[in-house]
Amino acid sequence: MIASFFSSTGELANLIPHFRGRDSQVKMAESVDLTIKQKTTLVVEAETGTGKTFAYLAPALLNLDKSLAQKLIISTGSKALQEQLYLKDLPLLLKATNFTGHCTLLKGRSNYLCIERLNRYMLETRFKQPNLHSELVAIKDWSVSTQTGDIAEVDDLPEDAMIIPSITSSNDNCLGKECPSYEDCFVIKARNKAMDADVIVINHHLFFADLAVKETGFGKLIPEADTYIFDEAHQLPDIASQYFGETLSSKQLTELAKEIDFVYRTELKEAKQMAKAAEQLRAASLDFRLAFAMEKGSGSWRDKSKDRAMQMHVNRLRQVLTFLKQVITERLGKSEVLDHCFEKINQYSLLFERLNNTQESGFSYWYECTKQHFSLNITPLSVATRFQTECQKKQASWVFTSATLSVKGEFRHFTQLLGLTGANCLQLNSPFDYATQSLFVVPRLLPEPGTPGLAVKLVEALSPVIRASKGRCFFLCTSHSMMNQLAQAFRESLTLPVLLQGEKSKQALLDEFINHGNALLVATGSFWEGVDVRGQTLSCVIIDKIPFASPEEPLLKARMEDAELKGGDPFFDVQLPQAVITLKQGVGRLIRAEQDKGVLIVCDTRLVSRKYGNLFLNSLPCMPRTRDLDKAIDFLNLIQ
């Protein structure tokens, strides 16, 4: 039945002109179908071009029995891809499968307007800046007509607008049923809609955030389901670590101080000592941040907390929290907001003590600083046992898929990280003809990574290739420092447009890259994955070096130390597999469709000079390889 669905006379072919199901797509769909019927677990790597979205949606929808009140949850790696799935792919498959059930898109609570917090900020006088005032008025006007409360609906409001945290809720500041606006709460409406839906589209961050609050029973948004499908599943281990851990940040502390100050100015104007205590918390939080000295970065809290000067700030913050608790205790029952603040003080105080009990094994204790804020974090080194337990509790079918899950054809790294023992694993190669569509270059005579003046040498060597490509090139970097150096040098060397990540939003940069038609985009981080530029618009992808994460990154460092204690090899067991997965993601930006052609260049001779290089090479698509940049220029001239 599944095979016929993807055939030339099947339901998809009747809906989509020139649709042609692929063997790998059918194989994946059949495996997903069997997994759902048998309530087992499937891990499937479906390389670019397989058509994995249709391959999991079709059997999932065909197996969903509304009469049994069955539910399907599909989770993606980002909100952007969540919306693409919900608005583009899912409607097509609903039609093709004749599925008549209800579907909904569910985001985390911080994406929905909080009416109570909006009303509170309308009362406040600190919004004197014209830009914030105009945003507030626009949001208030929109709030009257919106059906969903999704902040993304507000026209011309940037994703990172300063006002958003002030008019949305979090588990920390939500008043729950005590809230005066509870009956009109958009989060509750979204949750109720999800409870009534047959298909719920979420993202990984929401899935794990929901698991994290499940134990308290408060704030849970996602219903139980019969089938769980995770697309872009390679992201899951790191996201799980983030949410199975705990964090206390200066943002939380200053937000708490603001809430208490608001109660003083609007409800309990005689409580001057309470306002004084709130100001002490704000000041102690600021001084705590200044004690880190660095502008931004991260490090081991285990080590840093032993510093005598830092211990002084730890004691001061502890004393301020204790004083604040004493002051508010005298006023309990006089304000719902203040009662909620009291609960948070207790919560933060207990967490602060856990953060300073750094001797517990199995966890990484680390800090992170931005220019203005700090966070203290406890992160479990392994999430395998916890995630395995959650999977076993649910008695459901589980599908984990991505284009990048295996290392040299093996899934052990991924399955061990998530505790997916006994999972069925399937690897599906791309249907693309890499032998004719691409060329892979590891250039000769380049300095090793870390060599002084490397950026200038890379620009000298690669400018002729970028000119031959007529721009249309992504240069993916492993650090912001290298990214900025390269962008500056390329702007001096080339006459074509050079775009730099961070100068505009991700989507604005992509739009500009496509519209120019001859640009070089120098980027890092988020551009390594989830970016789909097809056709001649992108003909060359250059990667500065093998994307090894820094061994000084706190969580990675702790995992490597843990691997060594268990008798393993930190480099081969932890660092290397992670780098292989990341490199595969970057390489996957080049060939996105059967008509695409282009050149991949990795500027790291370790791929051919070190023994571990073969692990990378054997994990990548089978592209023709050369070490001669002139051949790259010839290939680019040929495909123009």
Q: Indicate left, alpha or beta for 184 from its phi (over 0: left) and psi (-120 to 50: alpha).
A: alpha
Same domain for 481 and 561, yes or no, is yes
State the pLDDT confidence band at 8, using cuts at 50, 70 and 90: confident
Q: For residue 196, give the CATH number of its domain.
A: 3.40.50.300
Tell me the three state secondary structure of residue 606.
helix
State the pLDDT confidence band at 450, using cuts at 50, 70 and 90: confident
Q: Round the CA-based radius of gyration of the chain to a whole number and report it.
A: 26
Phi, psi of 101 (to 5 degrees): -75, 180
Distance CA 10, CA 5 (A): 5
State the pLDDT confidence band at 20, using cuts at 50, 70 and 90: confident
Given the structure tokens 């988020």, which residue do they identify? Answer: 526
Given the structure tokens 């609960």, which residue do they identify? Answer: 343
Token pair recorded at residue 588: 């996957």
Q: What is the dihedral of CA 479, 484, 486, 490, to 10 degrees?
A: 150
State the pLDDT confidence band at 214, using cuts at 50, 70 and 90: low
Q: Kindly report the CA angle at 111 between 103 and 553, in degrees rounded to 5?
A: 110
Q: What is the pLDDT of residues 526-585, one digit of tens each?
A: 899 888 898 889 999 999 999 999 888 888 888 888 888 889 999 999 999 999 999 999
Q: Which amino acid is at 207?
A: F
Same domain for 214 and 311, yes or no, is no
CB 487 within 8 A of CB 522: yes
Average pLDDT over the chain, rounded to whole?
91
The helix (run of H) or strand (run of E) holding residue 377 is strand 374-380
Q: What is the pLDDT of residue 140?
A: 86
Distance CA 442, CA 445 (A): 10
DSSP state of 461: H
- In order of 107, 111, 201, 341, the CA distances from 219 in angstroms are 13, 14, 18, 17
Determine which of 292-301, 412-421, 425-434 has the lowest per-residue pLDDT on average. 292-301
Distance CA 542, CA 247 (A): 36
Q: What is the pLDDT of residue 159?
A: 74
User: Mind giving me the DSSP string for 28-90?
Assistant: HHHHHHHHHHHT-EEEEEE-TTS-HHHHHHHHHHHT--GGGT--EEEEESSHHHHHHIIIIIH
Q: What is the pLDDT of residue 123?
A: 76
The total number of structural domains in the chain stands at 4
Same domain for 290 and 154, yes or no, is no
Q: Where are the alpha helices (DSSP H) in 330-479?
A: 336-355, 384-394, 412-418, 434-437, 454-468
Same domain for 330 and 449, yes or no, is no
CB 6 within 8 A of CB 33: no
CB neighbour list of residue 105: distance below 8 Å, 6 or more residues apart: 82, 83, 86, 200, 201, 202
Same domain for 471 and 396, yes or no, is no
Q: Which amino acid is at 533?
A: V
Q: What is the pLDDT of residues 322-354, one digit of tens each?
A: 999 999 998 888 888 899 999 999 999 999 999
For residues 311-315, give the mean pLDDT.
Answer: 96
DSSP state of 451: -
Same domain for 606 and 457, yes or no, is yes
Domain boundary among 379, 412, 445: 379
- In order of 443, 476, 589, the CA distances from 458 in angstroms are 10, 13, 21
pTM above 0.85, yes or no: yes
State the pLDDT confidence band at 304, using cuts at 50, 70 and 90: very high
Q: What is the pLDDT of residues 218-277, one digit of tens each?
A: 567 899 999 999 999 999 999 999 889 999 999 999 999 999 998 888 888 888 899 999
- In order of 449, 591, 600, the CA distances from 586 in angstroms are 18, 11, 10
CB neighbour list of residue 192: distance below 8 Å, 6 or more residues apart: none
Same domain for 57 and 77, yes or no, is yes
Q: What is the pLDDT of residue 336?
A: 86
Same domain for 450 and 423, yes or no, is no
Q: Which domain holds residue 461?
A: 434-639
CB 385 within 8 A of CB 403: no
Domain boundary among 149, 169, 185: 185
Phi, psi of 460 (to 5 degrees): -60, -45
For residues 163-180, give the mean pLDDT.
Answer: 84
Q: What is the pLDDT of residues 105-119, one digit of tens each?
A: 999 888 999 998 888
Percent of the chain past pLDDT 90, that is, above it, reads: 66
CB neighbour list of residue 278: distance below 8 Å, 6 or more residues apart: 256, 257, 258, 260, 261, 264, 324
Same domain for 371 and 423, yes or no, is no
Comparing 218 with 504, the larger pLDDT belongs to 504
Same domain for 573 and 456, yes or no, is yes
> Where does residue 14 rank: exposed (0-12), middle (13-18), buried (19+ CB within 10 A)?
exposed
Alpha carbon 35 to chain centroid, angstroms: 27
Strand-pair category, 72-76 with 540-543: unpaired
Q: What is the pLDDT of residues 513-525, one digit of tens each?
A: 999 999 999 999 8
Q: What is the pLDDT of residues 71-92, one digit of tens each?
A: 999 999 988 889 899 999 999 9
Distance CA 136, CA 121 (A): 9
Distance CA 105, CA 564 (A): 43
Q: What is the pLDDT of residues 619-635, one digit of tens each?
A: 999 999 999 999 999 99
- On the question of pLDDT at 216 being above 70, the answer is no
Q: What is the pLDDT of residue 132?
A: 64
- Largest CA-CA distance found in the chain, in angstroms, rounded: 79
Token pair recorded at residue 179: 């809230």
Q: What is the pLDDT of residues 586-616, one digit of tens each?
A: 999 999 988 999 999 999 999 999 999 999 9
Distance CA 188, CA 112 (A): 10
Same domain for 178 and 201, yes or no, is no
- In order of 451, 516, 545, the CA distances from 313 in angstroms are 40, 52, 40
For residues 479-487, give the mean pLDDT.
Answer: 94
Q: What is the pLDDT of residue 515?
A: 94
Tell me the three state secondary structure of residue 20.
coil
Same domain for 147 and 58, yes or no, is no
CB 636 within 8 A of CB 599: yes
